[in-house]
Structure 1
């Protein structure tokens, strides 16, 4: 599994930088801090991304100084998260595994039935997959197709609900479902929203966060102060929700 697990479009307005701690060079992203403050905020995410939020007028020297001051803490956080990632087991798509849907874990049960129709059903707390022959790749493909169908239905419903809050959106934006390597979602300059089908594995509030994030991009295309102000108006707790989604990513995406 790639360690660049998904993140809802934080990179388009970021600046890659790095510093040395001992013998290790640590890369980090500098992003615009949404709140009017002179402080530099440093976060180490469970996928081992280091993100530094700083005011627009802060110099690179100021940012690097702040990061180096926290160098030991950053290094220790990275070491802890790397150890956790080593224990993330890639799924084998066999009976007994757990798979996520809307934030809950469901036991996978594979039925090999040569004469039955192949497909996936969610029954009594289990994801039941019927295949004609024992084939992990086939089970994986059937599950991915099932997730895409559910994603289209769930995302459409949540979009309809969230549009009631997004008063700046004049017309219902089209949704595209697309598996992406480094993003949960994106918004085109023309207002089309693209969402990752794996997002349907996350809790509903995390799905709402990503959709609202992209709806805000219809009004503000960059991660500007106005963008974050708008996002905070419609979802005051978005930072905690985003952090929760980041924390779940390695488990949700252990493919």
Structure 2
């Protein structure tokens, strides 16, 4: 099983005034009667509802928050107008362990090319300025940091996962749709982009995959186990979902 970057969903639609708003209905893992609505910075509207809730009831709950959803979308759309694709030039903002760092590209023909994290900045030294080279160096740096960080966090999380008898094999692999996955034989694969997220989000994904070693499906037992080792995991998951747009690339 895996932790998707975007949750599995059912697409639904409602109207607010003259606008047709699409939202994704996802299963709310813990069975409560509440419907949770989240508008993400990339303008995705995610509605978490109990699996047994009727579609009409979910639509009704969403329509009651129609004005709030509309206003959130309007504000995020304004922000997106000023968002440009990464150009890998000085002044850009890049994430690492949940914090933003300014990118500083240094042209230094005599220096060894590489990345250093110094005083709130990501300094990238290149022989000649090239967006492709800066991207390549940053990608390699993130992968190296991911390998080191994930290994440490896996060791820390294994202290809570008492059902795991042997340390799982850990693999780092860039994935388009998943933060992490667990194979049937217990090998854990993590997305290097996850190292851009806060430590608690990294811990959540690792614990999620460790729980799959005990329970391969998203059963009630799986969620009970998850809640035992990380009681507020749903809030952490929401935080990670909200960051997906800015860190998953």
Number of residues of Structure 1 aligned to a counterpart in Structure 2: 248
From 31, 34, 53, the counterpart of 1:36: 31
Distance in 1 between the 2:92 and 2:35 partners?
Answer: 42
Task: Please say if residues 43 and 51 of structure 1, whose CA atoms lie closer than 8 Å, have aligned partners that are also in contact.
Answer: yes
Give 1:58's aligned residue.
53
**Offset of 1:61 from its aligned partner?**
2.6
Distance in 1 between the 2:52 and 2:246 partners?
Answer: 37
From 130, 138, 149, the counterpart of 1:135: 130
Give 1:83's aligned residue.
78
Other structure's SS at 1:200 match: helix
Distance in 2 between the 1:95 and 1:233 partners?
Answer: 44
Q: Which moved more, 1:7-16 or 1:30-39?
A: 7-16
**Offset of 1:224 from its aligned partner?**
3.5
Other structure's SS at 2:178 match: coil
Check 1:219–1:82 CA distance in 2 against 1; reply closer, same or farther (3 A cut).
farther
**Offset of 1:200 from its aligned partner?**
1.0
Specify which structure has the bigger relative contact order, considering alpha-carbon pairs within 8 angstroms and separated by 6 or more residues: 1
Matched, 1:175 2:170: yes
Matched, 1:246 2:244: no
Structure 1 unmatched ranges of 5 or more? 1-6
**Offset of 1:238 from its aligned partner?**
1.7
Check 1:70–1:128 CA distance in 2 against 1; reply closer, same or farther (3 A cut).
closer
**Offset of 1:175 from its aligned partner?**
2.2
Matched, 1:107 2:102: yes
Check 1:191–1:26 CA distance in 2 against 1; reply closer, same or farther (3 A cut).
farther
Give 1:150's aligned residue.
145
From 212, 220, 239, the counterpart of 2:215: 220
- Cα deviation per residue 1:203-244 (whole Å; 9 max; x = unaligned)? 211211121122223333343333332222111122222233
Check 1:86–1:223 CA distance in 2 against 1; reply closer, same or farther (3 A cut).
farther
Structure 2 unmatched ranges of 5 or more? none
**Offset of 1:100 from its aligned partner?**
2.2
Give 1:20's aligned residue.
15
Superposed CA RMSD: 2.6
Q: Which moved more, 1:35-44 or 1:12-21?
A: 12-21
Question: What TM-score results when the alignment is normalised by the length of structure 2?
Answer: 0.85
Superposed, 1:191-202 pairs within 5 Å as: 191-202=186-197
Question: What TM-score results when the alignment is normalised by the length of structure 1?
Answer: 0.83
